[in-house]
Each structure stands twice: as structure tokens, then as C-alpha cells.
């Protein structure tokens, strides 16, 4: 299971547009990035890639940082922070080739969870990162105190059963937890979202979604009920073009939050004006500084 060649090429074209800071035409891509492909096949693939860009722009006009048509793409005025570009460049790190690529990749794997959490908060939900390191994210280092503080922040009227939390537990199979604030805050039982994050190949997301699915709910008494929980998995990849059979397989395990869904969360109508965490902004600045090193001409061909 992997993203389609058209989506991968669209990513490459977007990176090229960011690198060059100018409008690119389909003819530019034909000259630069599809060597070795039959002429007609190359033209069809490029056409499909630009159609992906048009789809992305339609899904989130305010969150997609490019102006796209069937033949052209150009960056919009650079925003202080772009969740889309952060996810685009972060996912492209797996292609390698950057001088500080491994360091950036490690940081991206870590702070992707914070981006997911921020997206929920922008959409008006209470959200916290439960996975370690917890202290820098505002939760106690030890898991049991962290869980108790999490319950208070989510306004869930529940009680932790400490005997159900073992010394081997890290995050109970939940990287990010989110809950609605508009629900009744004096009683438990409102909907909650339990999100696992995966920055690697999509097969990793497929295996993580059903992993430890009942563990988190099992450590509470009178709250955080399993029946009220929505399992989710987050990936920085854009799955708009993923074959339907594969997308169905993912969705059978939970709510799939890919790049465009995360961007839409962060740019919902009336989104709460919350700045991204400092660590995300710092990584964002370093990704932009390294943008000239991204191999947009060749890296995408791993998806062929």
C-alpha cells in the first residue's frame, strides 16, 4: 500500500514551486522530472498530478498554500506557518538526500503528534499529546499522574483504576486524545477521539490503527467509555488518490486523518486562533531553510 504516482508527483511539483518561488507549468515538469517515461505516459501522469493539486485546493482553499489549475501551480504569499507545507516537507524527508535529513526526520516523527494535537485545538476541541516526552507538552512525566491530569483537562468525570496501568505502559496505545468541550462537563460519557500517529509507510498506519484499541478505555471507572471512543490514525501523507480498496481497509479500523483532513481540521470555519507549539515552529523554520536540498526531480519516482 502506497500513495499513487500522481499524488507523489504532485508533492514533488509543490516542493519545486516552493524551491523556485514561482509559477510552474506542466511543460516545465515534462522537461525536468519525468525522464525515462514514454512521452504520452509522462503527459498523462503530469495531467493527473495537476488534477490532484486542483483537488487539494478545493478541499481546503484557505489551508492549501498554492494556486492550482489543470496546467499551472504557484505558491501563495508565504504565511507565518503552513500546516500543509509542514506535512508536505516532513513526509518528503523519507526520500533522503538532505545533509541534516536524519535529524529533521527524527524531529518530524516526534512533533507530528503536536501538529495533530494543534489541528484538533484549532477546530475547537480539547486535545493533548499523551505519548512521551510528556513534560514539555504540559503533562507529568509519569503515566498515572498524566492520565489524571488528562481527565481533568477533558472534563471527564471519571476515576483512574491505577491497578490497570502497568509499569510497562507508555501511552496505552494513544498518541493524541481529543474531546469536545461543548458536551456536558459535569457528567462523563461524551465522544472522545483516540489517535495513533504514523509517519512511515502506510502499512505502519494500517497496523497501528487496531493496535491496543481497548487498552485506554480499560483503565478508567465511570468514564472514557469505549463505546463513546472514536479510534483514529494520522499520517502526513495525502490519501486522496489512494485506491478505494486500500482506503476502505484503513477506514474499517478507524477515522483516517491524512494530510488534507488535518489541514481542514486546522482551517475549519471560525478556527480558533492558536499558534502552533514552539517546537513545531522551530522545525518548520529548519525545513524551509533546507528546502533547496529536497530532490523533487527524482524522489517521487519511488512511487512508480
Whether residue 238 sits in one domain with residue 140: yes
Output the pLDDT for position 4: 87
Q: Summarize pLDDT for 232-251 with one digit per residue, the tens.
A: 999 999 998 898 999 999 99
One-letter-per-residue 3-state SS of 253-295 = CCEEECHHHHHHHHCCCCCCCCCCCHHHHHHHHHHHHCHHHCC
Over residues 258-281, mean pLDDT: 92
Residue 103 lies in a domain: no
CA–CA dist 263, 226 (Å, integer): 27
Q: Summarize pLDDT for 219-230 with one digit per residue, the tens.
A: 999 999 999 999
Whether residue 143 sits in one domain with residue 220: yes
Output the pLDDT for position 202: 87
CA-angle at 282, arms to 172 and 73, nearest 5°: 100
Q: Which domain holds residue 208?
A: 111-277
Whether residue 62 sits in one domain with residue 161: no
Tally: H helices and E strands in the chain: 10, 10
Whether residue 293 sits in one domain with residue 183: no
Share of the chain above pLDDT 70, in %: 98
Residue 76 lies in a domain: yes
Output the pLDDT for position 281: 97
Output the pLDDT for position 95: 86
Residue 54 three-state SS: helix
Domain count, the chain: 2
Kindly give, in sequence order, each residue whose CB lies less than 8 Å from that of residue 77, ignoring residues fewer than 6 positions away: none
- Alpha helices in the chain, H assignment, sequence order: 5-20, 26-32, 39-59, 83-92, 101-122, 143-153, 202-208, 244-251, 259-266, 278-289
Whether residue 231 sits in one domain with residue 132: yes
Residue 106 lies in a domain: no
Q: Mean pLDDT score of the chain, rounded to an integer?
A: 92
Q: Summarize pLDDT for 114-151 with one digit per residue, the tens.
A: 999 999 999 999 999 999 999 999 999 999 999 999 99
- Which of 13-27, 46-60, 109-123, 288-302 comes out lowest in average pLDDT? 288-302
Output the pLDDT for position 37: 66
Residue 214 lies in a domain: yes
pLDDT at 110 over 80: yes
Residue bearing the bigger pLDDT, 13 or 297: 13
pLDDT at 304 over 70: no
Residue 105 lies in a domain: no
Strand partners, 74: 67
Confidence band of 211 (pLDDT split at 50, 70, 90): confident
pLDDT at 270 over 90: no
Whether residue 298 sits in one domain with residue 269: no
Cis preceding-peptide flag for 133 (omega within 30 of 0): yes
CA–CA dist 15, 75 (Å, integer): 10
Whether residue 220 sits in one domain with residue 263: yes
Whether residue 270 sits in one domain with residue 184: yes
Q: Summarize pLDDT for 150-203 with one digit per residue, the tens.
A: 999 999 999 999 999 999 999 999 999 999 877 777 888 889 999 999 998 888
Output the pLDDT for position 165: 96
Output the pLDDT for position 3: 85
Over residues 1-9, mean pLDDT: 87
Whether residue 133 sits in one domain with residue 58: no
Confidence band of 38 (pLDDT split at 50, 70, 90): low
CA–CA dist 111, 236 (Å, integer): 11
Share of the chain above pLDDT 90, in %: 74
Whether residue 142 sits in one domain with residue 199: yes
Whether residue 130 sits in one domain with residue 38: no
Amino acid at each position: 500500500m502506497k500513495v499513487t504516482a500522481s499524488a507523489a508527483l504532485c508533492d514533488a511539483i509543490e516542493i519545486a514551486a516552493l524551491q523556485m518561488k514561482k509559477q510552474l507549468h506542466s511543460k516545465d515538469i515534462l522537461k525536468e522530472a519525468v525522464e525515462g517515461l514514454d512521452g504520452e505516459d509522462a503527459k498523462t501522469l503530469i495531467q493527473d498530478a495537476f488534477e490532484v493539486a486542483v483537488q487539494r485546493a478545493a478541499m481546503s482553499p484557505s489551508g492549501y498554500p498554492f494556486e492550482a489549475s489543470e496546467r499551472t501551480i504557484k505558491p501563495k504569499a508565504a504565511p507565518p506557518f503552513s500546516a500543509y507545507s509542514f506535512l508536505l516537507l516532513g513526509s518528503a524527508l523519507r526520500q533522503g538526500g538532505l545533509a541534516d535529513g536524519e535529524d529533521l526526520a527524527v524531529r518530524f516523527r516526534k512533533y507530528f503528534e503536536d501538529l495533530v494535537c494543534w489541528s484538533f485545538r484549532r477546530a475547537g476541541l480539547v486535545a493533548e499529546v499523551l505519548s512521551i516526552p510528556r513534560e514539555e507538552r504540559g503533562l507529568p512525566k509519569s503515566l498515572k499522574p498524566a492520565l489524571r491530569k488528562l481527565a481533568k483537562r477533558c472534563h471527564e468525570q471519571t476515576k483512574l483504576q491505577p491497578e490497570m496501568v502497568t509499569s510497562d505502559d507508555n501511552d496505552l496505545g494513544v498518541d493524541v486524545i481529543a474531546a469536545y468541550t461543548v458536551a456536558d462537563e459535569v457528567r462523563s460519557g461524551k465522544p472522545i477521539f483516540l489517535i495513533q500517529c504514523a509517519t512511515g509507510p502506510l502499512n505502519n498506519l494500517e497496523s497501528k490503527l487496531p493496535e491496543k484499541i481497548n487498552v485506554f478505555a480499560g483503565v478508567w471507572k465511570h468514564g472514557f467509555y469505549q463505546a463513546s471512543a472514536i479510534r483514529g490514525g494520522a499520517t502526513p501523507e495525502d490519501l486522496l488518490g489512494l485506491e478505494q480498496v486500500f482506503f476502505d481497509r484503513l477506514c474499517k479500523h478507524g477515522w483516517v486523518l491524512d494530510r488534507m483532513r488535518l489541514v481542514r481540521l486546522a482551517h475549519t470555519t471560525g478556527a480558533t486562533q492558536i499558534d502552533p507549539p514552539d517546537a513545531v515552529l522551530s522545525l518548520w523554520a529548519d525545513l524551509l531553510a533546507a528546502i533547496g536540498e529536497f530532490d523533487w526531480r527524482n524522489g517521487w519516482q519511488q512511487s512508480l
